[in-house]
Structure formats: C-alpha cells, structure tokens
C-alpha cells in the first residue's frame, strides 16, 4: 500500500515508514464511517 503524503510547509512528499508508523500510532485511520468521530 502506498503511504499517505505529508506536508511540511510548502513541501509535499510521501511519508517515510517511520512517519507512517507514528501516524498510525496516533489513531489515524484511512477511512472513517462516523460523523461524530470521537
């Protein structure tokens, strides 16, 4: 699977594996289903 992009100021690039692991650890999900979200 392609990792998502990260923006750092005006630079946009694909996340590194480490950055992607940290994103997933933060509770981020690729797709959501609930407007109330919490």
Partner 1 sequence: MAVKTFTSATLSSSDTNTYLANSGLVYIKQQTIGNGVATQAVTSAFSADYDSYRIVVSGGTASALGSMRMQLGSANSLYYGIVNYATYGAASTPLSAGDNNAALWGYVGYCSPRYLAASIDLINPFDSNKYTSYLAAGWTAETAAGTASGLQQQQASYTAFTLSPQTGTFTGGTIFVYGYRKA
Interface positions with partner 1 (CB under 8 A): 4-12, 15, 19, 22-23, 25-32, 34-38
- DSSP annotation of 23 reads H
In the complex, the smallest distance separating the C-beta of residue 4 from partner 1, rounded to whole angstroms, is 4
Instruction: Please give the Cα distance from 20 to 22 (Å, whole number).
Output: 5
Please state the closest distance from residue 19 (CB atom) to partner 1, in A: 8
Neighbours of 23 (CB within 10 A): 15
Spell out the residues 6+ positions from residue 13 whose beta carbon is closer than 8 angstroms to its own.
5, 6
Nearer to partner 1, 17 or 37 (CB): 37
**Smallest distance, Å, CB 36 to partner 1?**
6
């Amino acid at each position: 699977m392609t990792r998502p992009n990260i923006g750092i100021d005006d630079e946009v690039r694909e996340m590194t594996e480490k950055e992607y692991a940290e994103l997933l650890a933060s509770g981020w999900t690729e797709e959501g289903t609930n407007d109330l979200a919490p």
